[in-house]
Amino acid sequence: MKKLILVRHGKSSWKEDLPDDERPLKKRAYKDAGLVLNAFSGFHQKPLKLWSSYASRALDTAKIFKERLEVEDKDFCVKDDLYTFDSKNLLNVIRSCEDEIENLMVFGHNPAITGVANQIGDQHFSNIPTTGLCMIQFEAENWQDIKTGKTLLYLFPKNLR
């Protein structure tokens, strides 16, 4: 059985004239991460592998989760291919996960995060918001075989305030 936890990066700033992948998190992102993590703590299962896009806003969000969930460095990985806005590309990266990993948390970008959640989960979301989390479980032994799973949980900051 496989469990996928999709997390959209925290709210980012457009203030400075920076390349897209260098945009930093806003203060609100840290508060939102705390809200989501407080609610998620009862659902967290170890071991947990964390994969993140290299974009500052996703990587900084992932680091907040890593620290709070006490994920070891060996279970934390930055993947260049996760800097994608295309759900097909994102799903291909997820399906490349090693089969011995049961619980995978992926930090990425919209519209890919929402697209994947809608494609392989059993609930529909018009938009997974920044710092939104969606957990989907699959009756599969191999990541390559994940197709349709059960959406077990979704946590959106505005619902937790």
Residue 111 lies in a domain: yes
Spell out a b/e string for 71-97, using b for 16 or more CB atoms within 10 Å of the CB, else e.
Answer: beeebbebbeebbbeebebbbebbeeb
Q: Where does 69-125 have alpha helices with state H?
A: 87-95, 112-120
In the structure, what pLDDT confidence band is assigned to residue 14 with cuts at 50, 70 and 90?
Answer: confident
Nearest to 89 by CA among 116, 121, 123: 116
Residue 156 lies in a domain: no
C-beta separation of 65 from 105 below 8 A: yes
Q: What is the pLDDT of residues 111-150, one digit of tens each?
A: 999 999 999 999 999 999 999 999 999 999 999 999 999 9
Q: Is the pLDDT of residue 5 over 90?
A: yes
Range(s) of the domain holding residue 114: 2-13+21-138
**Residue 46 pLDDT:** 87
**Residue 45 pLDDT:** 84
d(CA 108, CA 99): 21
Residue 126 lies in a domain: yes
Residue 159 lies in a domain: no
Nearest to 51 by CA among 96, 18, 85, 111: 96
Instruction: Count up the domains in the chain and report the number.
Output: 1
Q: What is the pLDDT of residues 44-93, one digit of tens each?
A: 888 999 999 999 999 999 999 999 999 999 999 999 999 999 999 999 99
The CATH number linked to 55 is 3.40.50.1240
3-state secondary structure of 138: strand
Residue 151 lies in a domain: no
